[in-house]
């Protein structure tokens, strides 16, 4: 299995190199050179397997020779051993045709745990084998940061620095990051929004001397390994509902496009997913694009669903590359135009191809609250992001009523207690392992949107911890 850049300026490489590199040197994102395709009998062979075993078999299609079968299986079993539900990713029926795929039973109560618990172990194995040390930098709108820190804390061969926007996460999300006092962990609060943080991370990767000096790697969903590790939970849900004999639809609340792209990748591998529905909040760039081919960035506005407060969806570049028939020059030109003008020129033919599969729906804060109330009245307590997903799935149901809808329930309601209480009158308690979160010491730096200052903080952190 080899990987290529969406912009065509990086040499093909194997999974191990992609894992450590994160972003391609040309600024593009890595994708498989050829997609693995599973036949119906291959999907059937996964029926009944424990989640870690099934995940290892799916992810092995992407890892090539980087890990042996037994190594990958051991990592998956270890990664998911700490999840609090025996099914790891259980399905809960919401109504006649809607099912919540609960992705919040991991250590930080969000879907990011599925990929990052595994990536932490992959990094450890590869770095120990190579005798290297890396510096991981990442940006977060709320959930990636805590999941990455939890996966990477106290690991011997890496340092991790996470950037989050000042005042733009929930208090629970912030404290999950800033109360981890491990010496290899540093949190930086940046004046700006998530896109500001994401731009700083990309700028550090595009600063070739700094990238080499720090041996940078990424845990954001720009890292292909993140996407590969998210595909299995869509497989698990589809199989539970009758795939490959039965088709399914998938609805995903999304901001950075990584989670829904994992569902697209599962479909590209042959899983019978008929439709992909994107739930957005007031930061509706993806919904606007699907409605009218308007991919234009606007200022990010705070909302009740802060993990989707994003206007530059990094992983959209991967879909664009596929829609443009894997033309790296056209992809690079579109991304360059977006960076320079704030508008992305997507050819009408590519846009029409996307709308044949994707639907988008933007949900206001008021509609989010109403959807949370509706779900609660039906016996289900949902966080605001999951509510955006269920609302989108009701706005765009499959025409065939026999097709069930899988809604990605991306975060535990206790991560957003203020929004949940506003909608339902109930303030969800934190689970026992986080019950003392509000009493823990916080530690983080606050910096302006200044690349030199941020690079200086990253350098000081990595040098202090260097062996």
Distance CA 180, CA 186 (A): 9
Greatest Cα pair distance, the chain, in angstroms, is 60
pLDDT tens digits, 177-193 = 999 999 999 999 999 99
Distance of CA 309 to the CA centre of its chain: 14
Residues of the chain with pLDDT under 50: none
Q: To the nearest 10°, the Cα dihedral for 226, 339, 143, 421?
A: -140
Taking CA atoms, 467 is separated from 143, 160, 184, in Å, by: 30, 15, 12
- Contact of 314 with 198, CB cutoff 8 Å: yes
Q: Give the number of residues written for the chain.
A: 467
**pTM confidence score:** 0.93
167: left (phi over 0), alpha (psi -120 to 50) or beta: left
Q: Helix axis angle, 417-424 relative to 365-377, nearest 10°?
A: 70
Distance CA 100, CA 114 (A): 16
Model pLDDT, residue 467? 65
Distance CA 119, CA 126 (A): 10
Distance CA 71, CA 67 (A): 6
Looking at 199-263, which runs of residues are DSSP E strands? Answer: 216-218, 248-253
Model pLDDT, residue 256? 87
pLDDT tens digits, 195-211 = 999 999 999 999 999 99
Instruction: Take residue 3 and report the two structure tokens written for it.
Output: 């990987």
Model pLDDT, residue 369? 98
Which residue reads 């590869």 in tokens? Answer: 126
Taking CA atoms, 435 is separated from 152, 172, 313, 439, in Å, by: 22, 11, 33, 9
202 is catalytic: no
Of 194, 192, 193, 219, the residue nearest 205 (C-alpha): 219
Looking at 304-414, which runs of residues are DSSP E strands? Answer: 358-362, 405-409
Three-state SS for 45?
A: coil
* Domains in the chain: ranges and CATH: 91-106+224-424 (3.40.50.1100)
Distance CA 139, CA 144 (A): 8
Model pLDDT, residue 395? 96
DSSP secondary structure string, 424-435? HS--PPPPGGGT
């Amino acid at each position: 299995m080899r990987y290529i850049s969406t912009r065509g300026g990086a040499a093909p490489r194997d999974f191990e190199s992609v894992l450590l590199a994160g972003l391609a040197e040309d600024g593009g994102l890595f994708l498989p050179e050829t997609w693995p395709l599973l036949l119906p009998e291959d999907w059937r062979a996964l029926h009944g397997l424990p989640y870690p075993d099934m995940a290892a078999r799916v992810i092995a299609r992407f890892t090539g020779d980087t890990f042996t079968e037994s190594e990958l299986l051991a990592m998956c079993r270890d990664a998911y051993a700490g999840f609090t539900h025996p099914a790891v990713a259980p399905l809960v029926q919401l109504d006649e045709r809607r099912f919540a795929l609960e992705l919040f039973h991991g250590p930080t109560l969000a879907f990011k745990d599925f990929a990052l618990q595994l990536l932490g172990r992959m990094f450890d194995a590869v770095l120990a084998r190579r005798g290297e040390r890396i510096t991981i930098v990442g940006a977060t709108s709320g959930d990636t940061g805590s999941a990455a820190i939890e996966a990477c804390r106290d690991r011997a061969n890496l340092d991790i620095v996470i950037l989050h926007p000042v005042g733009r996460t929930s208090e629970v999300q912030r404290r999950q990051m800033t109360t981890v006092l491990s010496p290899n962990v540093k949190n930086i609060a940046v004046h700006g929004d998530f896109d500001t943080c994401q731009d700083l991370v990309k700028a550090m990767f595009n600063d070739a001397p700094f990238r080499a000096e720090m041996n940078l790697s990424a845990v954001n969903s720009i890292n292909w390994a993140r996407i590969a590790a998210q595909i299995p939970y869509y497989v698990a849900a589809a199989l539970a509902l009758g795939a490959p004999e039965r088709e399914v639809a998938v609805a995903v609340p999304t901001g950075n496009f990584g989670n829904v792209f994992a569902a697209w990748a599962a479909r590209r591998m042959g899983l019978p997913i008929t439709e992909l529905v994107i739930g957005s909040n007031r930061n509706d760039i993806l919904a606007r694009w699907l409605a009218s081919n308007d991919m234009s960035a606007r200022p990010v506005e705070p909302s009740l669903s802060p993990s989707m407060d994003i206007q530059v969806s990094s992983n959209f570049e991967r879909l664009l590359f596929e829609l443009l028939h894997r033309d790296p020059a056209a992809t690079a030109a579109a991304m360059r135009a977006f960076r320079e003008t704030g508008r992305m020129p997507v050819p009408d033919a590519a846009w029409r191809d996307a709308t044949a599969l994707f639907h988008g729906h933007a949900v206001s804060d008021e509609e989010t609250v109403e959807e949370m109330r509706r779900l609660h009245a039906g016996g289900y307590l949902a966080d605001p992001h999951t509510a955006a997903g269920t609302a989108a799935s009701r706005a765009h149901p499959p025409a065939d009523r026999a097709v069930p809808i899988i809604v990605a329930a991306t975060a535990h309601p206790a991560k957003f207690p203020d929004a949940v209480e506003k909608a339902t009158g109930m303030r969800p308690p934190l689970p026992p392992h986080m019950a003392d979160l509000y009493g823990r010491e916080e530690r983080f730096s606050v910096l302006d949107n200044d690349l030199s200052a941020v690079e200086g903080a990253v350098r000081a952190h990595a040098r202090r911890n260097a062996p």
